[in-house]
Amino acid sequence: MYNVEIVGTGSFVPENRVSNEDISKFVDTSDEWISERTGIKERRISTKENTADLAAMAARSALDDAGISPEELDLIIVATVTPEHFTPSTACLVQAKLGAYKATCFDISAACSGFIFGLTIAEQFIKTGLFKTALVIGAEVLSKIVDWNDRSTCVIFADGAGAAVLKRGVQGIISEVTGSDGNGAESIACHAVPLKNKFCDFSKDKANYLSMNGREIFKFAVKIIPECIEKVLEDSGYSIDQVKHIIPHQANIRILDAAAKKLQINKERFYVNIQRYGNTSGASIALALDEMSKGGLLRNGDLIILVGFGAGLTYGAMMLKWTKDRNNNEEENNDAHNG
């Protein structure tokens, strides 16, 4: 088996900033309510770009950061619940935009856990030797599926994209956990097309908007975040005190406060940027990782845990050792082949 590391990150958000005050002009809400209940102050809402556009911008930034050309990519995975088409996949659209013609491309649907699921899938391909280089993107234009008259959801969700380039190399990815609970499918959902054809019509007049049972999701998140973190710690053999940063899905500041309390750690250990971007689902962890990396917050050797949860229900975590800033070359890659 080969070792796998992250060698570059990137992100992109639409230009259009929407503050809590802006939202309070068209639904009955306030900056005070949104800030206190969620931690969100503003978010980016696309007026130009669709999902593949955001994804490609984040991808270019990650490839630049990694010093890798699109032609070197063997695999492109886009984690999204807001693709532009049922088919083709957003990943194929990104491939064409980048000119990454060698890559195998597909999308995955795991909502806010999508980036962790994507990293885990890409890792398996590289570990086994089938591929050397992969691009994983989390990209969402949630503003397309949000009901802008529903104050319980429109204040939370937003648009953005984040990406990471993975390569065969030294051991960056240490341990991971993924899981799903389909019994919670209706807790947060956006219906697509009902069964309707020439021979039957079971269609119900369900709106194609995101619906959410906020309290259910809150409880689920507070339970699952500590469980996922404890699992990756157990598998890695490290203790929570050795972990430098926890980069969680940015859903709600109060969820993170409660999870920190359960884990008996200082809440400052969780990286938070929800105040600026809201909940960007599959993009949120990737966006935060890139912001930390570009902001100089990550040092080689730092242990980092990524953790997410979301619609499905889905959940996952990954423990990484940060290695990005070390010079990586073919000899070292070959040395790392221990299988």
Q: Interface with ligand COA by CB under 6 A: which residues?
A: 29, 33-34, 37-38, 112, 151-152, 155, 188, 212, 214-215, 217-218, 221, 251-252, 279, 310
Phi-psi bin for 275: left (phi > 0), alpha (psi -120 to 50), beta? Answer: alpha
Dihedral (CA of 274, 233, 112, 181) sign: negative
CA–CA distance, 188 with 211 (Å, rounded to integer): 6
Judged by beta carbon, residue 26 or residue 101, the one nearer ligand COA is 26
Residue number with the shortest CB distance to ligand COA?
A: 214
Q: How far is the CB of 25 from ligand COA (least distance, A)?
A: 13
Judged by beta carbon, residue 169 or residue 310, the one nearer ligand COA is 310
Q: How far is the CB of 38 from ligand COA (least distance, A)?
A: 5
Say which residue the tokens 């499918």 belong to. 185
| Closest C-alpha among 46, 20, 35 to residue 154 | 20
CA–CA distance, 322 with 247 (Å, rounded to integer): 13
Judged by beta carbon, residue 33 or residue 238, the one nearer ligand COA is 33
| Closest C-alpha among 261, 251, 257 to residue 315 | 251
Phi and psi (nearest 5°) for 109?
-115, 100
Q: How far is the CB of 26 from ligand COA (least distance, A)?
A: 12
Instruction: Check if the beta carbon of residue 57 is closer than 8 Å to that of residue 161.
Output: yes
Say which residue the tokens 């953790």 belong to. 307
Cα dihedral 56/60/63/64 (nearest 10) = -170
Q: How far is the CB of 33 from ligand COA (least distance, A)?
A: 4
Catalogue the active-site residues. 112, 249, 279
Amino acid at 269: R
First-last CA distance in the chain: 4
Q: How far is the CB of 27 from ligand COA (least distance, A)?
A: 7
Judged by beta carbon, residue 33 or residue 209, the one nearer ligand COA is 33
Judged by beta carbon, residue 251 or residue 317, the one nearer ligand COA is 251
